Amino acid sequence: MNYTQNLFCDSIKTQSSNWNDETYQSTFWHTSAHLLAYALEELYPGIKLGTGPAIENGFYYDVDFGEYSFTDKDFKKVEQKMQELAKKGFENVRKEVSKKDAISFFKQKGDTYKLEILEGLEDGTITFYETGQFTDLCSGPHIVNTSLIKAIKLTNIAGAYWRGDEKNKMLTRVYGITFPEKELLSEYLLNLEEAKKRDHRKLGKELDLFYFDEEVGMGLPLWAPKGEALRQNLIEFLKKIQRKAGYQHVASPHIGKKELYVTSGHYTKYGQDAYQPIKTPAENEEFFLKPMNCPHHCKIYAAKPKSYRELPVKYAEFGTVYRYEQHGELHGLTRVRGFTQDDAHIYCRPDQLKDEFLKVVDLVNLVYGKLGFSEFKTQISLRDPNNKDKYLGTDEMWDLAEKAIVEATQERGMKTTTKEGEAAFYGPKLDFMVRDAIGRKWQIGTIQVDYMMPENFDLTYTGSDNQKHRPVMIHRALFGSMERFIALLIENTGGKFPVWLAPTKAIVLPISEVFEEYAQQLANEINHALDLDIEVDLRNEKIGKKIREAQLQKIPYMLIVGEQEMNSKTVSVRKRDENTSKKIVMDDFIKLLKIEVA
């Protein structure tokens, strides 16, 4: 409590200067969630409250409104009530409460959700926070005084199953965001409007990249031809880089026997939350949709004996995996149930570990720089020291793995944050985070050090002493999920992909049908020279409409041809963001395009 007071109870001026600190923002928004709940109880007596955490941008509270009807039309009066309460300058007072007294308090209120939470808490660990007349079950921390909250906006409502379980009641999740200054809210709302224009779900349809269909299945994207062209451009880009870095590309099936994932340890940790087994006609034979690629790669490694001279062995695969995400967590391409990972696994000797780890870090910088993600944050994710049962392996294995990551990041001078409890169950990792168009943080790439899986699969190599030794395994994904990466790429570029990545790099637009043959001839010339697939718009439409639609499709180059161009054997080139065209000879345009697609 003293730490919270010292950090967060300074003047508004000090608060604003701290605003970019993530811990500070989270605490500010946690208090705002309590303020929202306070206002809702004042306006809707008798409602039942679930939980109300801070999130990446703002906060929410899950509420059972009972017989009340609550829609976004009610936002304004709730905002006004929150503002009224904030101005009263209530202090947030922390109190330690016995389990018996806590149960008695919420029984009197009839708050069944809080009572359910209390069932899982131990006596002596329970705290309340009081804000004016409002009391909530909470461990904190909070800002000390509500008067620091100056700007308030409710942003959305959605349905959310209690505790994320579809068997439980659907509650109303009320989202909001607050700031210490009105100017910060205005800036956020402007960015939000811009983000709506860049929303990958909206642009995905407009640019004919991908679709979802409930008959196919929720969270299972369908890639249209242009979307698949975008995916393949990314895949070929990374394959070329990986080959130069010594990776060998492999492929594995979409299913695997249950025993495979029992051996790897994944079944014990995730089996109940995965797609359920596929049963075959054979007795007691079960398969699972592949939830990850690493066990399959371990089997490829184990297929032939390895010498220490052969290490490191690097396997890479663009492998599609399947995980049963909860309905309420699905969101466009950023959270899906079937996705492709640019997965790679490096099997190396212990003395090679740090060097190989650093090579992957350098690969990340190269790839992200090329794709415009020059600003990203790195997080060292460690196991929870107070809950080691969640993880596989010995303390010695974990100490070695964590030390390797820390030393590697220090050697590169990387600025990292450290989060306990965020490690994979088999090893610590270095995660790469980027922000989307509205500032939400997403993990994309990851590098993980694993001593455990080589142990589980009994992987070995013959050392210089002619004895069997255990390799260390590095799990590595640069894009992470191809789907999530493409979603962020769409929003980061607004759909205006660089020429080399764009599904359609250029389109030839004949002014009339008289020039269609010449237009097709130009397209064939480019396709032959650069091995591309340049489109020709042969519709019977006015040239102005063709140009507008090509711009809406964000095609980098429009090649306009008419009588002058045909007679002079030239083409009028118009870029997607320009209002005029420039006439050049075809050879010069091919040279220009060759440079841009390289």
Report the catalytic residues.
Answer: 294, 323, 341, 343, 345, 429, 475
Q: Which residues are CB-neighbours of 527 under 8 A, at least 6 positions away?
A: 533, 534
Instruction: Tell me whether residue 241 is exposed, middle or buried, using C-beta atoms within 10 angstroms of its C-beta: 0 to 12, 13 to 18, 19 or more.
Output: middle
Tokens read off for 325: 């995400």
User: Angle, to 10 degrees, between the axis of helix 99-109 and the axis of helix 112-119?
Assistant: 160
3-state SS, 21-47, equals: CHHHHHHHHHHHHHHHHHHHHHHCCCC
The three-state secondary structure class of 427 is strand
User: Angle, to 10 degrees, between the axis of helix 182-198 and the axis of helix 482-493?
Assistant: 110
Residue 362 dihedral angles phi and psi, to the nearest 5°: -65, -35
Contact by Cβ (8 Å): 239, 250: no
Instruction: Tell me whether residue 172 is exposed, middle or buried, using C-beta atoms within 10 angstroms of its C-beta: 0 to 12, 13 to 18, 19 or more.
Output: buried
The C-alpha torsion from 369 through 373 and 379 to 380, rounded to 10°, is -30
User: Angle, to 10 degrees, between the axis of helix 586-597 and the axis of helix 516-530?
Assistant: 40
Q: Which amino acid is at 234?
A: L
Contact by Cβ (8 Å): 349, 311: yes
Alpha carbon distance, N-terminus to C-terminus of the chain: 57
Which is nearest to 378 in space by CA: 464, 446, 331?
A: 446
- Region for residue 364 given its phi and psi (left: phi exceeds 0; alpha: psi -120 to 50; beta: otherwise): alpha
Classify each residue of 117-139 as buried b or exposed e, where b means 16 or more C-beta atoms within 10 Å of its C-beta: bbeeeeeeebbbbbbbebbbbbe
Q: What Å distances lie between residue 500 and 230, 506, 532, 592, CA to CA?
A: 10, 11, 11, 12
What is the DSSP secondary-structure string of 167-191? TSPEEEEEEEEEESSHHHHHHHHHH
| CA 128 to mean position of chain CA atoms | 34
Tokens read off for 522: 């130009």
- Region for residue 413 given its phi and psi (left: phi exceeds 0; alpha: psi -120 to 50; beta: otherwise): left
Contact by Cβ (8 Å): 594, 557: no
